[in-house]
Structure 1
Amino acid sequence: MSIEEMYDCLIENAKNPDRTIYNRFRDEIREHIKRTIISDAPEDSGALLPLNYRERMDYIDARPCRYHSIIQLKNIYDEFNKRSASYRSRR
């Protein structure tokens, strides 16, 4: 299941999201970010990470399986992909 499919499933059942899917969704996003940083900018991760990344992840970790955490994870994923594409094109 792709990140987008997991997101759709979580949003569809936002009142009672499947914790297993949520955990996979969160872990896949973290792994994607980690792999991309290692391959594209191992010495400059700040150039790729979205603004307030650590604070946003702390918020998500403190409130797992909530609607706002799901939305925030997707936003982080989208912002990260945009920043990494911009970074690659500038290099």
Structure 2
Amino acid sequence: MFGRLGAPEIILILVVIILLFGAKKLPDMARSLGKSARILKSEAKAMKEEGNSSQQAPASNEQPPAQRTIKAAPGDVTSSRPVNEPTDSTQR
């Protein structure tokens, strides 16, 4: 439908983004995007590890999941928050 984007189109898109958001807000937006990507990556890794450990562990010896803290960046305590793991009520 749109075809491939060439260099002139990409440059035009970047110029429009800079005009819309302004040069002052772009670093903050990039930083928050990076934090979001790190959080998403760590959560995906934790879910994968949790899935692997639950397949190997026997079902009769289940313990409640421990509370863990999600951090956006090392040393960034302002965005840390404790998280309770969701319980799966569909399994019996």
- The normalised TM-score by structure 2 is 0.32
More strand by share: 2
Larger Rg: 2
Higher relative contact order (CA 8 A, sep 6+): 1
More helix by share: 1
- The normalised TM-score by structure 1 is 0.32
